[in-house]
């Protein structure tokens, strides 16, 4: 992602060398994304149908969360907006007031993306009225971007890093020595070495903040399976007594995995639970992963920038890992130095990156903290754990007033917080007084109009699998 974006944006103004080894495995479970990736691909001039065909992608309208508030209940976090906001107050205030006046329709009934997802439908709509992301094969995406980067002038070297050589006076990275003996000098080094963080930690020692106290899951197992039915336009996150499982439908296969806390579930039991619950024949051997949730304290340190897992990891619950790669790459391009690295740039980059991760961290913690589950030691720990003051303030503000405020261009907008908080059982005790301004007739008309618009639009949409086959199917006859 970094090489493709920098080469496409900067052209011949800089020289890009990509060092990677086919002998080194990747985490390879990044299959579910969020809407900013649509923008990322557009910025790079990528044809969407070509990209989706190459990566076996399907469309994603959100995430279905099952068993998080309590066993047997579920809710949907969509990528769209719900209802219609007033500048003084979000739609949830009018919906809450409507409940007091006898309107019983669920909040879900006012969201187009949510209704389309549950109906198994999708289409591109005028004015980008349908917000979406992708479910794809991340290894195929990497290959797609590698080809693009090389076509734009990136020099790719196959090899493994044997030594990171430092400038003894400055402490900067001066060169990388490969196992082949080749030595690569550079001005700026991007560490994309994953959890190993060979450059940012192994060489320049940027430090790491451990957030396991807030996000206790520390292990995962992933496996790919043969598809057993048409792909649906959403990802599933199914909570269990020590974490959760994912199901992600691609065109050619399914992605499955279990995320768990090793203090409450051992690897053997986790593997057994995953393999006995998957749908479809396994296509790969299970991929075992261990991780420490947290963030690199300095993600740009000296002349090294951490991209992806080398910068930190906060588990895949809301599909944010690929987004954080994208965010870092685009932010770096905006701050590329002309000659010497500016410490002002470094400080600003680090502040913005860390703020992104803190805000995403709080959103993820919300899923574990706001729960009625007390059926296992894991969930009792989550319900009782202290949370950051920033999150506690957000939860209690919403509980007391129904208000949510988006701060500093953070990733998750008001509607995301509203859907997840109410889905997890945090219900407001009050609403904005502007909702009471409407007469009963006016409120009824507003709610009915919004519901009708959603239902009529969804009724006119094609089935998701049929649309994918026509738009970006892998067989020539399907590629319309």
d(CA 460, CA 455): 9
The answer for residues whose C-beta is within 8 angstroms of residue 325's C-beta and 6 or more apart is: 1, 2, 307, 308
250-265 pLDDT, tens digit each: 999 999 999 999 999 9
d(CA 52, CA 59): 9
The answer for residues whose C-beta is within 8 angstroms of residue 165's C-beta and 6 or more apart is: 173, 174, 175, 176, 177, 183
Indicate the average pLDDT of the chain.
95
- Are the C-beta atoms of 166 and 199 separated by less than 8 Å? no
d(CA 244, CA 232): 19
Q: Kindly report the pTM of this predicted structure.
A: 0.95
d(CA 121, CA 241): 32
Give the chain's residues under pLDDT 50: 476-480
Residue 253 Rama label (left phi>0; alpha psi -120 to 50; beta): beta
d(CA 362, CA 367): 9
d(CA 381, CA 416): 25
Residue 376 Rama label (left phi>0; alpha psi -120 to 50; beta): beta
- Are the C-beta atoms of 322 and 5 separated by less than 8 Å? no
**304-306 vs 300-301, strand pairing mode:** antiparallel
Please report the pLDDT score of residue 96 as a whole number. 97
Please report the pLDDT score of residue 339 as a whole number. 84
Please report the pLDDT score of residue 480 as a whole number. 32
The answer for residues whose C-beta is within 8 angstroms of residue 195's C-beta and 6 or more apart is: 27, 291, 309, 310, 313
264-321 pLDDT, tens digit each: 999 999 999 999 999 999 999 999 999 999 999 999 999 999 999 999 998 999 999 9
Q: Phi/psi at 427 (nearest 5 deg)?
A: -105, 135
Q: Got the DSSP string for 416-436? A: HHHHHHHHTT---S---GGGG
The dihedral built from the CA positions of residue 359, 42, 112 and 110, taken in this order, carries a sign that is positive
d(CA 420, CA 114): 13
Nearest to 138 by CA among 319, 336, 379: 319
- Within 370-463, residue ranges assigned H as helices are 377-384, 389-401, 414-423, 440-459
115-174 pLDDT, tens digit each: 999 999 999 999 889 999 999 999 999 999 999 999 999 999 999 999 999 999 999 999
Domains of the chain with CATH codes: 2-80+111-212+293-360 (3.50.50.60)
d(CA 374, CA 246): 22
């Amino acid at each position: 992602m970094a090489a493709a974006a920098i080469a496409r944006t900067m052209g011949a103004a800089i020289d890009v060398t990509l060092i990677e080894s086919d002998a080194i495995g990747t985490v390879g479970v990044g299959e579910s994304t969020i809407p900013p990736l649509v923008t990322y691909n557009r910025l790079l001039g990528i044809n969407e149908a070509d990209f989706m065909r190459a990566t076996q992608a399907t469309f994603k309208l959100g995430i279905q969360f099952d068993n998080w508030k309590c066993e047997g209940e579920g809710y949907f976090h969509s990528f769209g907006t719900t209802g219609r906001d007033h500048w003084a107050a979000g739609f949830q205030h009018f919906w809450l007031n409507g409940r007091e006046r006898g309107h019983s329709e669920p909040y879900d009934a006012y969201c187009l993306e949510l209704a389309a997802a549950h109906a198994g439908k999708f289409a591109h709509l005028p004015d980008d009225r349908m917000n979406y992301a992708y479910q794809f094969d991340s290894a195929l995406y990497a290959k797609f971007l590698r080809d693009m980067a090389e076509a734009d002038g990136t020099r790719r070297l196959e090899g493994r890093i044997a030594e990171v050589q430092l400038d003894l006076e400055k402490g900067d990275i001066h060169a990388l020595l490969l196992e082949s003996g080749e030595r690569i000098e550079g001005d700026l080094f991007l560490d994309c070495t994953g959890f190993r963080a060979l450059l940012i930690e192994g060489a320049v020692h940027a430090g790491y903040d451990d957030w396991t106290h807030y996000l206790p899951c520390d292990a995962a197992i992933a496996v790919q399976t043969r598809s057993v039915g048409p792909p649906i336009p959403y990802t599933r996150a199914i909570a269990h007594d020590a974490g959760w499982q994912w199901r992600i439908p691609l065109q050619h296969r399914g992605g499955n995995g279990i995320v768990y806390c090793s203090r409450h579930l051992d690897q053997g039991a986790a593997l057994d639970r995953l393999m006995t619950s998957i749908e479809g024949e396994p296509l790969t051997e299970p991929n075992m992963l261990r991780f420490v949730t947290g963030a690199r304290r300095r993600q740009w340190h000296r002349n090294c920038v951490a991209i992806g897992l080398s910068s930190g990891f906060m588990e895949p619950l809301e599909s944010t890992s690929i987004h954080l790669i994208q965010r870092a790459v685009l932010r770096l391009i905006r701050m590329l130095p002309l000659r010497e690295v500016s410490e002002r740039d470094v400080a600003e980059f680090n502040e913005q990156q860390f703020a992104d991760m803190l805000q995403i961290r709080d959103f993820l913690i919300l899923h574990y903290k706001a729960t009625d589950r007390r059926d296992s030691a894991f969930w009792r720990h989550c319900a009782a754990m202290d949370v950051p003051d920033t999150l506690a303030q957000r939860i209690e503000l919403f509980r007391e007033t129904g208000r949510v405020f988006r701060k500093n261009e953070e990733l998750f907008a008001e509607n995301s917080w509203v859907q997840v908080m109410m889905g997890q059982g945090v219900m407001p005790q009050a609403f904005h007084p502007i909702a009471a301004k409407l007469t009963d007739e006016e409120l009824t008309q507003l709610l009915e109009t919004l519901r009708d618009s959603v239902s009529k639009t969804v009724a006119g949409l094609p089935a998701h699998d049929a649309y994918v086959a026509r738009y970006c199917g892998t067989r020539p006859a399907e590629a319309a």
